[in-house]
Structure 1
Amino acid sequence: MCEQRVVLVVDDNLLVRSMVEATLGLRYRVLSASTADEALERCAHEVPSLVLLDVHLEGESGIAVCDRLRGALQPTPPIVFLTGDVDPALAARCREVGGVDLLHKPFSPLELLERIGALLGSNSGA
Structure 2
Amino acid sequence: MADSPKRILIVDDDGEIIQALRIALESNGYEVLVARDGNQGLALTVREQPDLLLLDMMMPKRSGILVLEKLSRSEEAHPPIIMMTANEGNRHKAYAQTLGVVDYLHKPFPMDRMIDAVRRVLGDQED
TM > 0.5: yes
1:22 aligns with 2:40: no
Identify the range of structure 1 (12-21 vs 66-75) with the bigger mean alpha-carbon deviation. 66-75
CA distance in 1, matches of 2:41, 2:117: 21
Shift of the alpha carbon at 1:103? Answer: 0.7
Give the TM-score, by structure 2 length: 0.88
1 or 2 for the larger relative contact order (CA 8 Å, sep ≥6)?
1
Give the TM-score, by structure 1 length: 0.88
Query: Percent of aligned pairs with the same residue?
Result: 29
Q: What stretches of structure 1 move > 4 A for 4+ residues in a row?
A: none
Shift of the alpha carbon at 1:34? Answer: 0.6
Do 2:85 and 2:106's aligned partners in 1 also have CA atoms closer than 8 Å? yes
- Deviations for 1:71-123, whole angstroms, at most 9, x for unmatched residues? 55732210111001111111101101111110110011111111101111226
**2:61 aligned residue:** 59
Q: Structure 1 stretches of 5 or more lacking a match?
A: none
Identify the range of structure 1 (91-100 vs 65-74) with the bigger mean alpha-carbon deviation. 65-74
Do 1:10 and 1:53's aligned partners in 2 also have CA atoms closer than 8 Å? yes
Do 2:39 and 2:62's aligned partners in 1 also have CA atoms closer than 8 Å? no
Do 1:79 and 1:101's aligned partners in 2 also have CA atoms closer than 8 Å? yes
Shift of the alpha carbon at 1:69? Answer: 3.0
- The equivalent position to 1:43 in structure 2, one of 33, 42, 45, is 45
Q: CA RMSD in A?
A: 1.6
Q: Structure 2 stretches of 5 or more lacking a match?
A: none
**2:79 aligned residue:** 77
Identify the range of structure 1 (37-46 vs 53-62) with the bigger mean alpha-carbon deviation. 37-46
CA distance in 2, matches of 1:41, 1:76: 12
